[in-house]
């Protein structure tokens, strides 16, 4: 398992998430397929770590296991040095939230934004619902008037801002980001990435992102894990990714195939 990166002062970061020997298999017997194969990694508090690779390499499967959508896994997941049980409790979801790839599918089509944002506040026992809704809508660049809109009245970028607001309104520590910009127009992608970058600084968040897009992941993350056939075959800094410096032949091929990408600005 890799150690978390040091912070800007050179001091070691407190570990936010540690995944040890994670294995996930679908099916059984001759039909069994290993989707995640002995994956281990750590995230330091306040760090952004990205998993990259081709579709089907196991990136999103890891996120689904981490958030508890798939409990059928082997290995150990620790959050803040505490082993996470298979059955996630409410306290876990208060501290760990996920932003999904498709912002329309992740929002209830018949419920106003204010209901979408009030529901997690109610579940987790927060007070000042109306004030918190106004505050988070402003924080994601929308504003209080958006509380009265339905998802179909929003653009793709606005829907993803609402999805981010829903994840952040209960003040989590860790965000799991499943290709959060891939369903958006290129012109909107940079806006959402810059918003996530700003929110991370302002709220002292830790990010784990999965993506197949090098420009996206290196814009947001300091470290990157290259995945192939369910395994992390190499970890690199974002600078190494941009420069094409890779030790593994597969990683070099992946970076070369992406030649011409430009970091989001």
What digits encode the pLDDT tens for the residues 182-221? Answer: 888 888 999 999 999 999 999 999 999 999 888 899 999 9
Contact 60, 118 (CB under 8 A): no
> What are the phi and psi torsion angles at 211 (to 5°)?
-165, 155
Residue 8 pLDDT grade (very low, low, confident, very high; cuts 50, 70, 90): very low
Tell me whether residue 193 is in a domain. Answer: yes
pLDDT over 90 (residue 39):
yes
pLDDT over 80 (residue 265):
no
203: tokens are 């709220």
pLDDT over 90 (residue 12):
no
Tell me whether residue 148 is in a domain. Answer: yes
Terminal CA-to-CA distance of the chain, rounded, Å? 32
Tell me whether residue 70 is in a domain. Answer: yes
Number of compact structural domains in the chain = 1
Task: Provide the pLDDT for residue 256.
Answer: 87
d(CA 192, CA 216): 10
Q: Convert the pLDDT of each residue in 42-80 to its tens digit.
A: 999 999 999 999 888 999 999 999 999 998 999 999 999
Tell me whether residue 30 is in a domain. Answer: yes
d(CA 128, CA 42): 35
Tell me whether residue 165 is in a domain. Answer: yes
Tell me whether residue 8 is in a domain. Answer: no
pTM: 0.89
d(CA 136, CA 114): 11
Q: What is the CATH number of the domain that holds 99?
A: 3.40.50.300
CB-count burial class (<10 Å; 0-12, 13-18, 19+) for 194: middle
More confident residue, 207 or 81: 207
Residue 260 pLDDT grade (very low, low, confident, very high; cuts 50, 70, 90): low
Residue 30 pLDDT grade (very low, low, confident, very high; cuts 50, 70, 90): confident
> What are the phi and psi torsion angles at 227 (to 5°)?
-110, 145
Tell me whether residue 264 is in a domain. Answer: no
Q: How far is CA 170 from CA 55, 84, 114, 149, in A?
A: 31, 20, 14, 21
**Alpha-carbon dihedral angle through residues 191, 67, 168, 188, given to the nearest 10 degrees:** 10
Q: What percent of the chain is modeled with pLDDT above 90?
A: 79
Contact 223, 50 (CB under 8 A): yes
Task: Provide the pLDDT for residue 11.
Answer: 47
Task: Provide the pLDDT for residue 9.
Answer: 39
Tell me whether residue 32 is in a domain. Answer: yes
Structural domain including 209 reads 15-257
């Amino acid at each position: 398992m890799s150690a978390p990166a040091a912070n800007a002062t050179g001091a070691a970061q407190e570990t936010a998430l540690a995944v040890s020997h994670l294995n996930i298999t679908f099916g059984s017997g001759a039909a069994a397929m290993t989707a995640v194969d002995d994956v281990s990694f750590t995230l330091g508090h306040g760090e952004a770590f990205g998993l990259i690779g081709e579709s089907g390499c196991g990136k999103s499967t890891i996120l689904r296991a981490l958030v508890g959508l798939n409990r059928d896994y082997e290995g150990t997941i620790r959050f803040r040095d505490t082993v996470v049980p298979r059955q996630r409790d409410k306290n876990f979801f208060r501290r760990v939230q996920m932003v999904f790839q498709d912002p329309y599918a992740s929002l209830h089509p018949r419920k106003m934004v204010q209901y979408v944002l009030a529901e997690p506040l109610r579940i987790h026992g927060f007070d000042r619902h109306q004030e918190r809704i106004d505050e988070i809508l402003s924080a994601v660049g929308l504003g209080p008037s958006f509380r009265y809109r339905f998802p179909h009245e929003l653009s793709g970028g606005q829907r993803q801002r609402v999805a981010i607001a829903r994840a952040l309104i209960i003040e989590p520590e860790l965000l799991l980001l499943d290709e959060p910009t891939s369903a958006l127009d290129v012109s909107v992608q940079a806006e959402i990435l810059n918003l996530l970058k700003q929110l991370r600084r302002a709220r002292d968040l830790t990010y784990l992102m999965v993506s197949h897009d090098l420009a996206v992941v290196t814009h947001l993350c300091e470290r990157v894990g290259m995945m192939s056939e369910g395994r992390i075959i190499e970890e690199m800094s974002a600078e190494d990714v941009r420069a094409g410096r890779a030790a593994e032949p597969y990683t070099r091929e992946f970076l070369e195939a992406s030649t011409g990408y430009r970091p989001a600005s």
